[in-house]
Structure 1
Amino acid sequence: MRHLLQGLAANPALPPAFVARLVAFAVGEGAEEGGWVDSALSDRADLSREQALALAAHRGILAVGPVRRGVLRADDIDPRALPDAALALLDEGLGLPHWPALLVTDTDSDRRRKLAFCPGLPPEVAALLAADHQLDVVSGLALYGTPDPATAALLAAHPHAEVRLMTALNENEAVPPALLSALLTGEGLPPASECSVCEKDPELRWWQPYVRSGAACDGSHRSTVQDTRQAALANPSTPADDVARFAGDPSMLLRERVAARAGLPQRVYAELARDPMPGVLWALAGNPGTGEAVIRELAGVRDPEVLSRLIRHPRLPLDLLAGPVGRARAGREPLPRIAAATEAEVDRLAASAEAGVRALVARRRDLPPAVRDALAADPDAKVVKAVASHPGLGEDRLRAMAARHGVAVLAQVAANPDAPGALLEELVRHDPPVLGVLRAVARHPNATGPALLGCLADVRARRHAAAHPALPARELPRLLDDPDWQVVEAAAAHPALPLAVMRDSMP
């Protein structure tokens, strides 16, 4: 029932009377079992102001969509009557300037914590949150907030070590570099008086069950201090010179953070390339700041994870693709270095004697036509598979590729944006069925009704076919009883769903 109603709530063809019925259901008798019906309703373009206000009163976050679309204005929201809606709008940068000062005194600490997450808080409000008696409010400001420099200084010097850790982890990079240096080295900050392990305040002991595994404290809050150093080393705003000082630290965890940090001198990376710990080498291999000499040294490390990260390195020397690096696990996306290759480099890669190298360059979707066509005619199936979904190949080449390599390339041929409906119908009828074909055709804008009917046999393909505009409307009612909830939602949201079926599905 939930997924059927959620799909109906998102259906653009739902009549206004049915929209009103679903709104009443979502905020009334169906508030408990209605699931996310209210969320789908709040995204509707035809929502009235009164309906939008009713949804916002039900769940504050539901005010965001209507405000963005102009159905509601921020002036329509009273922060005292609808504090959760006001908080949701502030979090999206859509609130009014005077709201934070009203909400910072809310007796609900969960609301104060949400306020701490909001961007652009006035300094006086941020200072009050930094002094809040609830640790989760202060920690929320330190981790998710955008504190001004003065407030950031209060957080970095907070007596509780957990707040200092969250400050070093700040996700908005709002902490000044000098404070991050202080958190990294401890220089210039008073010692913390407690941490989540040695908690003394009875009101804050609720935090202890959530202490990280293995945390310990001998009076120096050493686990949290170590975590704070790791966080500061990983923070891109921490000065590079201070980060480099830890390249030889006894802690592998700290060296690993240094190895992952871009912008350090190459001599630091060269030192780390000789580190005996795999984790350090993995981080170094994935660091876009390492230069050619370090990359070549790491290429000699027969560690699959090192090689897998190197092959995706944006500065990888292309000649390394002919060796062990080129045979590493590379994922499906075009490699950054190949994506940035010049026309001359592309020509050389496409003419490589190594089929694996040709397959890697074939992933690019902006190849010159001559290169693309040559790769489409390659004798190696993995090369053809990589180029098969490239636009511009044309129906004749697609058919030739499918005939020459068969099942190995059919799914990629079906995913080609230029594949015509007739070809898609033929691919769907392949015996035995190729699941990759069914799933590609179900998403394809050129898919015809007959092709989509052939996709309904596979549940993953059926999820997309149920939403496809070319699916015959007669199929939609039975899909509402599908055992897969995603199929039900897609079918219920289909604008071709018969009106009588919509009516019979109303709560």
Structure 2
Amino acid sequence: MDHVLCGLAANPALSYECVDRLIAVADADVAWRLADRADLDHAQAVALFARVPECGVQLAYGGRLTAADVDPVVRPDVALALLDEGAGSPQWARLLAADPDPARRERLAGCPDLPADVVETLAADADVCVVAELALWTTSGALRGLASRPHADVRRSAAANDATPPDVLAALATGHGLPPVLHCEVCDQEATPSAHERRCPRSGCASPSDASCDGSHESAAHGIRQAALRNPATPVEAVVGFADHPSTSLRRALADRCDLPAAVYRTLAADPAPGVRAGVAANPAIDDALMRVLARDRDLDVRHGLAGNPHVPLDVFAELAGSVRSGAAPLPRIAAATEAEVARLARSANPAVRMHLARRRDLPPEVRDRLADDPDAKVVGAVAPHPGLGEARLRAMVDRHGVRVLAGAAVNPDATPALLELLVRHDPPVPRALPGIARHPNASPEALLACLRSSRARPVAAGRPGLPPAVVVDLLDDADPRVVEAAAANPSLPRAVIENLLPGA
């Protein structure tokens, strides 16, 4: 891989003529980056496709090619991509439905809005994988017939398709009203009775580790029911009976549904399997009374699920806050809190509650400032990236809490060049803050130069246009290929250098 050319291919400052020169010499790596350019026009996309046909699928999905640009016989993969985007010719679908490669027919079966005759052809395909893919994605009337096919894989796909008629989904869930399954992925490969080995010796085998068949296709039937239970289009009256089914995975699938009677949720909330109870706890359809019961559950996953429920009462959330982790984004209930609730949460005696609130980025100024002045470093660290804090308050936060809040302050959109320079020089240093500083639009050349001393931040800083051009040029010889590519993509790279780096200069 030529990392300089790959970087140049992504450089937004590249002139139209330079893009043309790169297209003329592009290999697959360079073409992959050129195909992503926002300024690549249709003529250049066609030229790039002619130079590196392997990038055609990427160009097709990016809307850079039209049906007139593609020969489906020569590049069936690109034709399939255009069909998948709804931009291909119906005649292509008829051609590809007869393709000798079953993998292509399977890809075609997943494309939207296929002509009725193509659907009919694919439904009669000799390869069960093609038919199963059709059953998973088609919205046509063929679904009713596909759901009664003798192979379990096809039925499982139909059970997962929310376009399948509700009465058919009910039959797939219960097993009533359909002819018996005659084939499954286990008995297709092994004499029955057979159980799939956990460490299967067959190369490329995709069968589940618990797959088994004694002639009744039991694991396949289980998969069909599970798909139907997870399908929100399956009528509720067909699924409620599974609340006390012996299979934990079926009860777990049921627990995620939002249309069950309250009595069924209560049954599932008392399930012996923690995973089932956790599914119920996270379900927005359960009532407050059941949430209060689940808040006392001893299993941590159940409490985590409840804390993530968008309707959990705030007093219940307060009980859970200290034992629940979340990412940078606020939990759904906190994100949905009203202005009055936000004010109440900000005054909570529990610092974990205040910390979760501090992850919102739309707080009223008085609440934001109150949390920025909080005595708890975790609260201050969570609110540190919030817009509107201003340089003086950010400095005060770092002065009070140091390394515990510095990374958050470093990504605050209002951090000034002077503040970022201060943070990059902080003693003790905070290495995890440096990539954020290197990405910051206000990072000064001095801050970016300091970030170059960090192996974590160097590839980020090398691509920033605020670096002095001479430094960017020097980075083209860096030992780290990520740095070289980032420097070549840096719009501050002098045009004369770009011209000299292109082949044929």
User: How many angstroms apart in 2 are the aligned matches of 1:4 and 1:340?
Assistant: 47
Match in the other structure for 1:153: 144
Cα deviations by residue, 1:183-226 (Å, 9 ceiling, x for unpaired)? 11112211121111111799xxx999332212110111111111
C-alpha contact 2:155 2:172 (8 A) present in aligned 1? yes
- Report what 1:162 is aligned to: 153
User: What corresponds to 2:294 in structure 1?
Assistant: 298
Q: 2:33 aligns with which of 33, 40, 52?
A: 40
Match of 1:195 in 2: 184
Cα distance in 2, alignment partners of residues 371 and 316 from structure 1: 22
* 2:24–2:51 Cα contact (<8 Å) kept: no
- Per-residue deviation at 1:51? 0.7
Q: CA deviation at 1:349?
A: 0.8
Question: In structure 2, what residue type is equivalent to 1:166?
Answer: S
Contact 2:309 / 2:333 at 8 angstroms: preserved in 1? yes
Runs of 5+ in structure 1 lacking a partner?
none
Query: Which residue of structure 2 aligns with residue 329 of structure 1?
Result: 325
Per the alignment, residue 96 of structure 1 pairs with 89
Q: Which residue of 1 aligns with 2:120?
A: 127
For residue 393 of structure 1, what is the aligned residue in structure 2? Answer: 389
Q: What is the alpha-carbon distance in structure 2 between the residues aligned to residue 38 and residue 263 of structure 1? A: 49
**CA deviation map 1:229-268 (0-9, x unaligned):** 1111111221122221211111111111111211211211
1:39 CA drift (Å): 1.9
Matched, 1:237 2:233: yes
Which runs of structure 2 are paired with 1:273-292 in the superposition (5 Å)?
Answer: 273-292=269-288
Residue 244 of structure 2 aligns to a residue whose secondary structure is: coil
Q: Is the Cα–Cα contact under 8 Å of residues 256 and 280 in structure 2 kept in the other structure?
A: yes
1:433 aligned residue (425, 429, 435): 429
Q: Which amino acid counterpart does residue 435 of structure 1 have in structure 2?
A: P
In structure 1, distance between residues paired with 2:164 and 2:203: 24
**Structure 2: gaps of 5 or more residues:** 192-201
In the alignment, structure 1 residue 257 sits paired with structure 2 residue 253: yes
How far apart are 1:362 and its partner, in Å? Answer: 1.5
Correspondence for 1:317: 313
Does structure 2 retain, via aligned residues, the 8 Å contact 1:61–1:85?
Answer: yes
The whole-number CA distance in structure 2 between the counterparts of 1:317 and 1:185 is 36
Mean CA deviation greater in 466-475 or 43-52:
43-52
Deviations 1:159-195 (A, max 9, x none): 211221222234xx33232222221111221112111
Alpha carbons 1:63, 1:89 under 8 Å: kept: no
Helix, strand or coil for the counterpart of 1:210? coil
Give the superposition deviation at 1:120: 1.2
Cross-structure match for 2:199:
none
Between the aligned partners of 1:308 and 1:398, the Cα distance in structure 2 is: 32
Q: Secondary structure at the match of 2:385?
A: coil
Q: Which region of structure 1 is more displaced relative to structure 2, 395-404 or 319-328?
A: 319-328
C-alpha displacement at 1:392, in angstroms?
0.9
Q: Which residue of 1 aligns with 2:493?
A: 497
Q: Please give the per-residue CA displacement for 1:57-97, whole angstroms capped at 9, x wherever unaligned.
A: 4443043266x25xx43333333343222211111122234
Query: Which is worse superposed, 46-55 or 487-496?
Result: 46-55
Within 1, Cα distance between the matches of 2:502 and 2:471? 19
Aligned length: 490
CA 1:223 to 1:59, structure 2 compared with 1: closer, same or farther past 3 Å? same
- Indicate the larger mover: 221-230 or 77-86: 77-86
1:372-411 paired onto structure 2 within 5 Å: 372-411=368-407
Q: Hey, what's the Cα distance between the residues in 2 that align with 1:65 and 1:153? A: 31
**Which amino acid is 2:445 matched to?**
G
Q: Distance in 2 between matches of 1:483 and 1:278?
A: 50
The residue type equivalent to 1:115 in the other structure is: L
CA RMSD of aligned residues (A): 2.4
Q: CA separation of 1:484/1:246 partners in 2, compared to 1, >3 Å: closer, same or farther?
A: farther
Q: Could you tell me which of 28, 49, 73 is aligned with 2:66?
A: 73
User: Following TM superposition, by how much is the alpha carbon of 1:52 offset from its aligned partner in structure 2, in angstroms?
Assistant: 4.1
Structure 1 position 16, deviation (Å): 4.7
**1:308, 1:330 within 8 Å by CA — same for their partners in 2?**
no
SS state at 2:388 partner: coil
Q: Do 1:194 and 1:200's aligned partners in 2 also have CA atoms closer than 8 Å?
A: no
Describe the superposition over 1:269-293 as per-residue Cα deviations: whole angstroms up to 9, x where unpaired: 1111111111111211222222211
- Say which SS state the counterpart of residue 212 (structure 2) adopts: coil
Question: 1:325–1:310: structure 2 CA closer, same or farther, 3 Å change rule?
Answer: farther
Q: Does 1:182 align with 2:174?
A: no
Q: Distance in 2 between matches of 1:283 and 1:13?
A: 50
- Whether the aligned pair in 2 keeps the contact of 1:165 and 1:227 (CA below 8 Å) is yes
Q: Secondary structure at the match of 2:374?
A: coil
TM-score by length of 2: 0.90
Decide whether the 8 Å contact of 2:265 with 2:280 is kept in 1.
yes
AA at the equivalent of 1:112:
R
Does the CA contact (< 8 Å) of 1:161 and 1:195 recur in 2?
Answer: yes
- In 1, are the aligned partners of 2:186 and 2:212 still within 8 Å (CA)? yes
| Counterparts of 2:32 and 2:125, CA distance in 1 | 32
Mapped partners of 1:3, 1:154: distance in 2: 53
Q: Distance between the aligned counterparts of 1:17 and 1:328, measured in 2?
A: 55
> Is the aligned partner of 1:348 residue 2:344?
yes
The amino acid across from 1:197 in the alignment is V
Name the aligned partner's letter for residue 182 of structure 2.
Answer: S
Q: Does the 8 A contact of 1:42 with 1:65 survive in 2? A: no
Query: 2:196 matched to which residue of 1?
Result: none
